[in-house]
Structure formats: structure tokens, C-alpha cells
Chains A and B, each alone.
Chain A
Amino acid sequence: MSLTSPHASPGAAVAKPSRRRLRWLPRQRPGWAVIVAAVCLALIVIVAILAPWLAPHGPLEMSPANRLKPPGEAYWLGSDAYGRDLLSRVLYGARVSLMVGIGSALISVVVGLPLGILAGFFRGLDAVIMRVMDGLMAIPSVLLAIAIVSLVSANLWTVMAAITIPEIPRVVRLVRSVVLSAREEPYVEAAVSLGSSLFTVMWRHLMPNTLAPLIVMSTYICASAILTEAILSFLGAGIGTETPTWGNIMAEGRTYFLIKPSLIFWPGILLSVCILSINLLGDAARDRLDPRLQKRGAAQ
């Protein structure tokens, strides 16, 4: 009888289907939409990084003689009301958008993750942290940005702060809910009984559970931050016109919309493609990291 020789059983070699492990490596080929999204986003990132070398003109280089030129040899996408090259401005604008997007996502995760873990782990802190977060959630980001800009001058950092602050509570709530359920897992109790410090328990045993949903969430934050930044610039509450952003290019182009729609069209289309790509990649990451949602379609 094989009752006494456990490792003779084939079970030792055959892996059981994994129930909880993150599958980082793609098993099946991602759909074409995801591939297209990845390529688009990669292109946008590359041109943003290489903008100083790719741009045929300086983004602020005015040329009063060449105002509102149609697309041509010198100005590939034409020029704006001050004779600045639209292509160069759009390329430089991508830098601000991506920095705001990635920066907001990073900061909100860096601030929200520890707060969320603390709130989920300590019942006493939970009440305090979550009430503060409820307060923050009530602030609309556009109004907060306008308030901040009216107090201090608008630059990349103030805009990022204005966008990030209302996002932090969402991260905290997400992390807290994951921690609340993960702390009931027996392996967490086992760690406690093995004499692990509270920090080890939180960091090594609880925190990794939050990573998969956080990655997904941060893509949505990234996309919404880019959009909010564009809205702020468009409203004139964002980064000043001396730094081209997709939002303020569109804001300036609005005046000439009837005679030269391409001033709005190009930054607009790039903004849409960029956000669509990030959201598609976020959905793909969610499907991969959380198999339970796979069958429910992409609607959020």
C-alpha cells in the first residue's frame, strides 16, 4: 500500500492548478486591441521622451510671418496663431500629459498604499483614516485645482497635487478592503504565531495581495489624471501657456476653431488615443490579474 510513501505519488511532480498565484507571463496571446493599445502607448511615450530631438522646431519658437500655415514642408501639421509649429508643440505636450498621468498614479499609490494597509490592519486607525478619506473624496478635483492655482501659481507640481489628492482616498479604500479580507487568511495568523513583527506581517504577507488590484487601479488613475490635466489647461486653470500641454494647445486653438480645426484635432486625437490605450491596457491587466472578472466583459 502506498500510504506510507508520500513522495512516491505522482502528486509530488504534478502541479495542482494554481488558485491564487499571479500569472505575470501571458499564457494566451492578448487580443489585437490590447496589442494596438500597447503599440500606441509605446509610440506616445517614445516621442515624448525624444521630443527635443524629434521636434523640427522649438515649441515656443514664434514666427509671425508664418501664422496659421496649412500642413506643408516646414510645418508638418501646420502652425498656430503665433506661427509656432503644431507638431513640435503636440510632441512636447505629450511630456506634460504623461508626467502628470504617471506622477499622479505613482504618488497616489505611494501615499495610499501604506494608509490603506494601516486602516485595514488597525481598527482604531481605521476610523480616523477613513473619515479623513471620506472628507477628501468630497472634493472635486477640478475645483480643488482652481482653488490651488488661485492661491499659488500653477505649475506641474501644483496641478499634480490637485489631481492626486482626490484620487488618494480611492486607493486607500481599495487597499483597505483587500487587507481586510486578506488578514483573515490563516497564513497571516500563522505568521503572527511564528513571532513575525507587525511590519513583516503587513509588508510581506498582506501588501502583495493588494498589488494586482493596485496595478489596475493605477492605470485608471493615470488615464483620468491626463484627462483632468487637459481639462484644467483648457479651462485656463492649469499649467501656463509657456509650457505646451495638450489642454492649453486646444484652449488656444479654440479661438481659431472655425478657420483651422486641426489646432484642436491633433492634440485631441492624441489625448483620446493615449487615454483609450491606457484604459485598454488597464482592462487587460485586470483580466489577467483577476481571473474572476474575465467573463464579465470589459464594461466597468
Chain B
Amino acid sequence: MSDDLIPSGAAPAPVLDIRGLQVATQSSPAKPILKGIDFAIAPGETLCLVGESGSGKSVTSLAVMGLLPKGSLKAVGGRIELEGDSLLEASPTRLRDLRASRMAMIFQEPMTALNPLMRVGEQIEEVLVMHQRGLSARQRRDRVLDMLDQVQLPDIERVHASWPHQLSGGQRQRIMIAMALVLEPKLLIADEPTTALDVTTQKQILKLIKQLQERHGTSVLFITHDMGVVADIADRVCVMRHGEVVETQPIDALLRRPTTDYTRQLLTAVPSLRPRASREVADREIVLEAIELEKRYGQASRWARLAGKASAQTLAASDINFALTRGRTLGIVGESGSGKSTVARCVMRMIEPTGGGVRVMGKDIASLGRAALKPHRKRIQMIFQDPFRSLNPRLTIGTSLIEGPVNYGTPREQALARAAELLELVGLPKDALARYPHQFSGGQRQRIAIARALAMEPDVLVADEAVSALDVSVQAQVLGLLDDIQRRLGVAVLFITHDLRVAAQICDEVMVMQKGVVVEYGPASRVLGAPEHAYTRSLMLAAPGRHWDFAGFRPLKSVFEETSPVTATAR
């Protein structure tokens, strides 16, 4: 963290100055979304806007860009000044000129932010065509190639002529950054630009933004919910909640001495990267076992084989072996495309494994038919990632909860009584039975999904990114609930996650996957505490904010370092 970027007492005029900004819905009665926001960004500074979902951080960025959805949101008070220009009073034409030339934005989803029907080089050139009329085609092309070089894309001539779908997520985000910075704007707004990316890619992108910022002296308004990212890149932090700024402080002060309870709460909710102390093995009964499990996609069809064509197969997972004992948690960790979800879905028999075996309570279910599978299906239940989609929106909570037990012959009344008990177990009121999913928040829905899985009295819970869609404080609650349930009911958990912090907090054993194969498997304390495989190490090193102990409000000293020898020191 370069301290010289923090504005000193005699600060230069801010690039962006927001005073008392109020945004409200245009419905009647108008509902306030932003209730008077104040902050300023100095030249060359990175200000992180942090908050949980619904805090208004994205609305703030849209208001600055003049992109509030017409007809539903409107700025009703306050001022936004970009280098002295009042943005709220600017005409649409003026705003369009300012966008790209003096302020630019990059979005969360690089997949949808690019036009799929235009080569990426042309898309960047389009910005120049719109805003810098005097350039010749040759000059424009040179500028774009220079920009692609600056965002460190390989083989820039080829990338220039590529379509968006030919590039990876990280490369697309680099294109977005190139497009945003090609006119050298004074202000770059980044709205969760790395949330959709893998950690290693995220690290590269964050580094790139920092480098470009230093080279061009750009100010950055960085919106994120990830405290780790904040700790890595922010100069100052502005914490938002319910449309209000709770606290604005330089990063170091905020992490060491948060002044408000809310910030303190946010920071303590960040799971530590240090694996938790391993629990003793109470029970050695193996409830779930995978033996040389394999899933190939694109099995060659009979016709292709007859025609002697080479089959274009993808090995999504191969040679997966693990054993999960009662009451323990096994984490499968990896980046997108590592095959971790494939394993989970094979184990659940949502997809058919193409080889190997899955034993649930000693019985191989990998090749059972539909009917034979049914009695074993209830032994293993799943919790899904997106709590907004995993409950049928048209059924009451009660109906959803009793569906499973009723399928297995439990009388309705008895199942309903049990459902009410389960709701209490997961911390929801009994009257939730008669309500519909849309009446609950994401965290509450995830509790309901857990209750639904538990209604089957399973031996194994498979949680596929079960807390990834939740805010960090809610995430802490749900993880606490899972832990509590595991202790009380002795259920084993197969926990699939990309988040090493979560894995460190909940797992007893960890299996790290990369490109469909297991690269490391062992107790969490060893795999995450002293990783042996180069890939695990690179994952750990890429974890944002790994030098900081958020809950302890102090920097961490003894996380293993990039330079430390690979040899097992902490065995």
C-alpha cells in the first residue's frame, strides 16, 4: 500500500466530489435509495466503496455516470462534481462527452459488457471514433494496439481481430479496461470488476488496474463487497449501508481502528484464511466414498465411431478418490472449470459419471437405475448456490419442505410437524411454513434450503458454493448454522467452494482440484496451512487480503510467503 497516495492536509482539488447526493425511486410514494452521500476522490487516489447488497453502492456509481435507469430511479438532491463540472445538471450530450473522455466505467460481468457481434479491436476503436474525430484509421489502430499492450494482453494483433467469445473472462475484463482507459479519463469507476473472475485472474487484474492508475494518474472509484480486495488496493475506504455512508477512513486506519459497529461487524465477519484447528475424529464410519470417479463430456456417438472420427472429448473430472467420514466436512476447492461442481453433481447422480464408483453408506450408486437409486437418494442431499432459484417460487415453504419426506412415505401431517421443527432448527419462525420464497431474504432462503435437505435425514450434505451468493455477514451466519447442525446431527458435509477463506473455516479435509484432476488432498491444516503443490500455493497467494487479519484488526505476519521454500515446514 503506497501511503504517499493518501491525500495530505493541503489536498489538491478532488477529481470527483459528491455532496449530499440523494437518489429516490420514481414510484409513488418515492422510496429513498441514497440518503445524502458525501465523499470525494483526490487525483490518483483509489477509493473503495464497500457495502453489502442493497447498500446503494452501485446506485452511487450509476448516478455518477448519469446511467440511473430512467423512469425508476432519479437523483433528487445534492451535487456530483467531476473536476468542477456539475454532472447532475449536465445535458445528456454533455454527459455523453464526459463519459469515456473524463470518466469511464468497467462492469462486473465481462461476458455481457462486450458486444458479441463486433471484434474487440473495433469496439475499442469505436470509442475513439466517437470522441476523437481527428484521428486517422491508422492512428486509431495504433492507439488501440498500444492500449492492448498496456493491459498486457498476449499477441495483440490476434486479440485485436478476435471476437469476444474467443477470449477468456480475464482477457475480456482486460479489453474492458483498455476500452475504459483509451481516452485517459480522470476517473475510472470499477463496479465489482473482479467478482466474476477466478482468484488468480483477479489478482492479475487488480495489479493491472493499479499499474495503469499509477502510469496515467487516474483516480479510481472501486466498488466491491470483498474486504480482502479492499485491503489490497484501497487508499481510502467509504463504508455504505442502507443508502448512507457509515464511515470514511484511510485503509490502514479503517482496518485497525474501525469507528463504527457496522464496519467492525463487516470486518469480523470476514473468514480467516488460517485453517481452523482440526477436530478430532469421533467416528470412523465412511459415509461417502468416491473411487476413481470419472466424467467425460462429448462421448463419441456410435456413428462418429463407425466413421472412425476422432472424438472431441473433455475430461471434466478424472481419477477422483476421496472418503468422507460421519460428522466431517470435506472441501473441494478450485477455480472455475476445475471440475469441482462436476464431482458434486456426479456424487448426487444429477449427471451420470462415465467411470468409477460412488459409495453412499457402502453401497455403490454410480450405476443404479432410477428405481434402484431412489432409496439411496435420500441419504445424500444438496444445497445449491443461488438461494433465489433453488426454491420453487410458486410453492409455500411448507410444501417445499415436505415434498421429500412425503415422497418417501411420511404422512403429510407428520412431515409438516417435522418441517416446523426444522425451521426452528435453522433459526426461522414457524409461521414461515405458510409463506412463499419471495418473502424471504437470500440468507433466510438458504436456511430454508438447508432445512429442506435436512428433512430427508441425510447422512451427507453436498453444499455447492452454498454461501457464495450471500453477503459476508449472512455468510458467517449460514456457515455457523451448518457447523451447528453438523455437531448436533452428525451429518457429513461435502463443501464445494472457490473461496479459500470459507474452506479454511469450515473444512476438516480439503481437496484441491485443477482442470479435472486432484492436485492435493489432505487435512485442511496442512493443505491450506502449508500447501505442497504449486497450484495450491498460487491459489493461496492470490487470495485477496491475505496479509491481513480482519477479525483481529491487525496485519498477519506468518502466512507463508512467496519466497519461502516449498518443503513441508509445517507437517
Q: Which A residues are closer than 8 A to B by beta carbons?
A: 1, 3-7, 9, 11-12, 15-22, 185-187, 189-197, 200, 204-205, 208
B473 and A3 form a contact (CB under 8 A): yes
Tell me how far the C-beta of A17 lies from the nearest C-beta in chain B, rounded to whole angstroms: 8
Q: Cβ of B408: which chain A residues have Cβ within 8 Å of it?
A: 195
B348 and A193 form a contact (CB under 8 A): yes
Tell me how far the C-beta of B484 lies from the nearest C-beta in chain A, rounded to whole angstroms: 10
Interface-facing stretch out of B168-176, B189-197, B441-449: B441-449
Docked Cα-Cα span, A195 to B378, in Å, equals 7
The chain A residue sitting closest to B404, CB to CB, is: A194
When the two chains form the complex, which single residue of B377, B392, B452, B477 contacts A195, counting CB atoms closer than 8 Å?
A: B377
B382 and A18 form a contact (CB under 8 A): no
Q: Cβ of B427: which chain A residues have Cβ within 8 Å of it?
A: 5-7
B438 and A16 form a contact (CB under 8 A): yes
When the two chains form the complex, which single residue of A6, A11, A18, A191 contacts B403, counting CB atoms closer than 8 Å?
A: A191
A19-B393, A189-B382 given; name 16 further pairs at CB < 8 Å. Answer: A3-B265, A3-B480, A9-B441, A11-B440, A12-B440, A21-B393, A187-B393, A190-B452, A193-B348, A193-B377, A193-B380, A194-B452, A195-B374, A195-B456, A204-B395, A208-B394
Tell me how far the C-beta of A188 lies from the nearest C-beta in chain B, rounded to whole angstroms: 8
Q: Cβ of B388: which chain A residues have Cβ within 8 Å of it?
A: 19
Q: Does B40 contact A (CB under 8 A)?
A: no
Q: Does B222 contact A (CB under 8 A)?
A: no
Take A20-B438, A187-B389 as given contacts and tell me if A194 and B384 are in contact as well, using a CB distance cutoff of 8 Å. no
A4 and B477 form a contact (CB under 8 A): yes
Tell me how far the C-beta of A207 lies from the nearest C-beta in chain B, rounded to whole angstroms: 10
Take A6-B428, A7-B428, A186-B384 as given contacts and tell me if A194 and B393 are in contact as well, using a CB distance cutoff of 8 Å. no
Q: Number of residues in B with C-beta < 8 Å to the partner? A: 45
Docked Cα-Cα span, A200 to B391, in Å, equals 15
Docked Cα-Cα span, A190 to B391, in Å, equals 8
A3 and B438 form a contact (CB under 8 A): no
The chain B residue sitting closest to A8, CB to CB, is: B427
B436 and A16 form a contact (CB under 8 A): no
A196 and B393 form a contact (CB under 8 A): no
Take A3-B476, A6-B428, A187-B389 as given contacts and tell me if A16 and B404 are in contact as well, using a CB distance cutoff of 8 Å. no
B438 and A192 form a contact (CB under 8 A): no
Q: Does B429 contact A (CB under 8 A)?
A: yes
The chain A residue sitting closest to B377, CB to CB, is: A195
Q: Cβ of B166: which chain A residues have Cβ within 8 Å of it?
A: none
Q: Cβ of A195: which chain B residues have Cβ within 8 Å of it?
A: 374, 377-378, 404, 407-408, 456
Docked Cα-Cα span, A196 to B395, in Å, equals 15
Docked Cα-Cα span, A19 to B387, in Å, equals 13
Query: Scoring B residues 336 to 362 as 1 if CB is less than 8 Å from chain A, else 0, what string do you get?
Result: 000000000000101000000000000
Q: Does B232 contact A (CB under 8 A)?
A: no
Q: Does B558 contact A (CB under 8 A)?
A: no
Q: Does B313 contact A (CB under 8 A)?
A: no
Query: Scoring B residues 461 to 499 as 1 if CB is less than 8 Å from chain A, else 0, what string do you get?
Result: 000000000000100110010000000000000000000
A6 and B384 form a contact (CB under 8 A): no
When the two chains form the complex, which single residue of A6, A189, A208 contacts B350, counting CB atoms closer than 8 Å?
A: A189
The chain A residue sitting closest to B439, CB to CB, is: A15
Q: List 18 A-B contacts (CB under 8 A).
A: A3-B269, A3-B476, A3-B477, A3-B480, A4-B477, A16-B439, A19-B393, A21-B394, A21-B438, A22-B394, A186-B386, A186-B390, A190-B391, A191-B403, A192-B350, A193-B380, A195-B404, A208-B394
Take A6-B428, A7-B428, A187-B390 as given contacts and tell me if A193 and B381 are in contact as well, using a CB distance cutoff of 8 Å. yes
Q: Cβ of A204: which chain B residues have Cβ within 8 Å of it?
A: 392, 395
Query: Scoring B residues 247 to 265 as 1 if CB is less than 8 Å from chain A, else 0, what string do you get?
Result: 0000000000000010001
Q: Cβ of A6: which chain B residues have Cβ within 8 Å of it?
A: 427-428, 443-444, 447, 477
B390 and A194 form a contact (CB under 8 A): no
The chain A residue sitting closest to B447, CB to CB, is: A6
Q: Cβ of B391: which chain A residues have Cβ within 8 Å of it?
A: 187, 190
Docked Cα-Cα span, A21 to B427, in Å, equals 25
B523-543 interface with A by 8 A CB criterion: none
B24-56 interface with A by 8 A CB criterion: none
Tell me how far the C-beta of B215 lies from the nearest C-beta in chain A, rounded to whole angstroms: 42
B441 and A196 form a contact (CB under 8 A): no
B364-409 interface with A by 8 A CB criterion: 374, 377-378, 380-382, 384-386, 388-395, 403-404, 407-408
Tell me how far the C-beta of B369 lies from the nearest C-beta in chain A, rounded to whole angstroms: 13
B377 and A1 form a contact (CB under 8 A): no
In order of increasing CB-CB distance, the 7 nearest A-B pairs are A194-B404, A18-B438, A186-B390, A11-B441, A186-B384, A195-B407, A187-B392
When the two chains form the complex, which single residue of B261, B348, B444 contacts A11, counting CB atoms closer than 8 Å?
A: B444
A194 and B407 form a contact (CB under 8 A): yes
B348 and A196 form a contact (CB under 8 A): no
Docked Cα-Cα span, A20 to B374, in Å, equals 31
Q: Cβ of B452: which chain A residues have Cβ within 8 Å of it?
A: 190, 194
Docked Cα-Cα span, A49 to B441, in Å, equals 49
Q: Cβ of B444: which chain A residues have Cβ within 8 Å of it?
A: 6, 11-12
Q: Cβ of B265: which chain A residues have Cβ within 8 Å of it?
A: 1, 3
Docked Cα-Cα span, A190 to B268, in Å, equals 33
Tell me how far the C-beta of A153 lies from the nearest C-beta in chain B, rounded to whole angstroms: 46
Docked Cα-Cα span, A191 to B374, in Å, equals 12
Docked Cα-Cα span, A18 to B436, in Å, equals 10
The chain A residue sitting closest to B268, CB to CB, is: A1
Docked Cα-Cα span, A16 to B442, in Å, equals 9
Interface centre among B374, B428, B441, B443 (most CB of A within 10 A): B441
A16 and B476 form a contact (CB under 8 A): no
The chain A residue sitting closest to B387, CB to CB, is: A186
Docked Cα-Cα span, A205 to B88, in Å, equals 47
Tell me how far the C-beta of B219 lies from the nearest C-beta in chain A, rounded to whole angstroms: 34
Q: Cβ of B392: which chain A residues have Cβ within 8 Å of it?
A: 187, 191, 204-205
Docked Cα-Cα span, A21 to B268, in Å, equals 36
Take A190-B384, A193-B382, A196-B407 as given contacts and tell me if A19 and B438 are in contact as well, using a CB distance cutoff of 8 Å. yes
Q: Cβ of A18: which chain B residues have Cβ within 8 Å of it?
A: 393, 438
Tell me how far the C-beta of B81 lies from the nearest C-beta in chain A, rounded to whole angstroms: 32
B477 and A21 form a contact (CB under 8 A): no
B390 and A16 form a contact (CB under 8 A): no
Interface centre among B389, B392, B407 (most CB of A within 10 A): B392
Q: Cβ of B407: which chain A residues have Cβ within 8 Å of it?
A: 194-197, 200
Docked Cα-Cα span, A189 to B393, in Å, equals 14
Docked Cα-Cα span, A20 to B436, in Å, equals 11
When the two chains form the complex, which single residue of A19, A190, A208 contacts B382, counting CB atoms closer than 8 Å?
A: A190
Q: Cβ of A200: which chain B residues have Cβ within 8 Å of it?
A: 403, 407
A190 and B390 form a contact (CB under 8 A): yes
Q: Cβ of A9: which chain B residues have Cβ within 8 Å of it?
A: 441
Q: Cβ of A190: which chain B residues have Cβ within 8 Å of it?
A: 382, 384, 390-391, 449, 452
A186 and B389 form a contact (CB under 8 A): yes
Tell me how far the C-beta of A15 lies from the nearest C-beta in chain B, rounded to whole angstroms: 5
Docked Cα-Cα span, A3 to B456, in Å, equals 27
The chain A residue sitting closest to B390, CB to CB, is: A186
Q: Cβ of B438: which chain A residues have Cβ within 8 Å of it?
A: 15-21
Q: Cβ of A19: which chain B residues have Cβ within 8 Å of it?
A: 388, 393, 438
Q: Cβ of A16: which chain B residues have Cβ within 8 Å of it?
A: 438-441
Q: Cβ of A194: which chain B residues have Cβ within 8 Å of it?
A: 377-378, 381, 403-404, 407, 452, 456
